Amino acid sequence: MSATVVTTHAASVVGDGTTGRSRAASRWRRWRFPLGLLALACLVGLLAALPQPVTSTQSLAPDNPLPGGARAAAQILGDRGVDVRYVRRVSDVVRLAGPGSTVLVVGDELIDTPHTDALRATGADLVLVDASWAVGELTDSLGYGASSAGQPQTRTADCDDPDAGAAGTITASGRLQALDPSAVVCFPPSDGSAGSAGAYGVTTTDGQRISVLTDRAPLTNARLADEGNAALVLRMLGHNERLVWYIPSPADVNPGGSSRPKATDVVPPIVNVLALQLLLVAAVGALWRGRRLGRIVTEQLPVVVRAGETTRGRGRLYRRSRSFGHAAAALRAGATARSCARLGLPRSAAPQVVIDALARASGRPPQHIEALLYGPPPTDDHGLAQLARDLDHLESEVHRS
């Protein structure tokens, strides 16, 4: 009969009496609270970042879904194979545009002559929307007439341009004039009061096709489906496979420079929120793990310096640095404080009150008191010594009163 021997292996124990499992449990209890806060912050940041749409509120921007935006037109152009590139700097226009592409310029309040020169140098077809100044800079064949502003109204093409003819009618305002027989102007006012003026024009300048639309309304999400606005916009912007959608920005100041983005341009906005959350987690962790050091313990100074020695030491420093102004200010401040205390005046008394009180107490003229207490500082040792004697005499007179 054989005996069965059962051997049990105890858990490995280190010198301090702990095991790997007990140390792991202790660390988990210690760090579970900050780790939970960190996980919660990451979860909130992830939830805040995921549903955030890539949109803007810029007027006529291709990513703006609001009524004043132009996201509908941009998406339709994209579905038809047009590569739409949205930029805010003319340097990006120069980099992306060229012959065989189209550049849409919306507004011209923030651009200057170097910008229009850069646009002309691209050789791309230009479409100018609500850009009266840029029209005059880029072509001599078209120009804005007087009183071009007004409410959008339904207008008929009434011209030979194929794009305008396909649209038939649009809702727009503006009075664009043809200054050259080669220019074509379409969509005159319905009342016929503007003669050859219209809301849309086309011309060719130095081999560059330039289309001008005086009103933003046909491009907007709110008006794109009205009349023939969509037909005109899609044909006007869809002539080429690439469309550079340029809306000038206040930062657009370097037409010929590089368009390297700043760090703030490439960092998502949610990063600021995550940084604040991490800062909050760090502050909570510091408060949680911080240890109270107790009351402040006073320590006896190893050396006791007498007040007289401190005063003489400061005086030697003033003399060595020839700081007569600081020394005179200290003498005057001390004499004034002692005299005011003698007369019952507060330390915050106005200079004129101090002068009048010391003049009555000493019998001296106020002008002499003012020059003694508030006059210019001495410029040498002799003047400083004389000031000290005069202040001492003044204090003596005040104390005798």
3-state secondary structure the chain: CCCCCCCCCCCCCCCCCCCHHHHHHHHHHHHHHHHHHHHHHHHHHHHHHCCCCCCCCCCCCCCCCCCCCCHHHHHHHHHCCCEEEEECCHHHHHHHCCCCCEEEEECCCCCCHHHHHHHHHCCCEEEEECCHHHHHHHCCCEEECCCCCCCCEEEECCCCCHHHHHHCEEEECCCEEECCCCCEEECCCCCCCCCCCECEEEEEECCEEEEEECCCHHHCCCCCCCCCHHHHHHHHHCCCCEEEEECCCCCCCCCCCCCCCCHHHHCCCHHHHHHHHHHHHHHHHHHHHCCCCCCCCCCCCCCCCCHHHHHHHHHHHHHHCCCHHHHHHHHHHHHHHHHHHHHCCCCCCCHHHHHHHHHHHHCCCHHHHHHHHHCCCCCCHHHHHHHHHHHHHHHHHHHHC
Please say whether the beta carbons of 230 and 76 come within 8 A: yes
* Residue in 59, 75, 150 with CA at minimum distance from that of residue 109: 59
pLDDT in tens, 323-342: 888 888 888 888 888 888 88
Please say whether the beta carbons of 190 and 182 come within 8 A: no
pTM: 0.54
Spans of all domains in the chain: 71-256, 309-400
CATH topology classification for 71-256: Rossmann fold (3.40.50)
- Which pLDDT tens digits describe the chain residue by residue (401 residues)? 444 433 434 444 443 455 677 778 878 888 888 888 888 888 887 776 665 566 788 889 999 999 999 999 999 999 999 999 999 999 999 999 999 999 999 988 888 888 999 999 999 999 999 998 899 899 998 988 765 556 788 899 888 899 999 999 999 888 888 888 889 999 988 776 555 688 899 999 888 999 999 999 999 999 999 899 999 999 999 999 999 999 998 887 655 544 455 566 556 667 777 788 888 888 888 877 766 666 777 777 677 777 777 778 877 887 788 888 888 888 888 888 888 888 888 888 888 998 898 888 888 898 998 888 888 888 888 888 888 898 888 888 888 76
CA pair distance 345, 62, nearest whole angstrom: 75
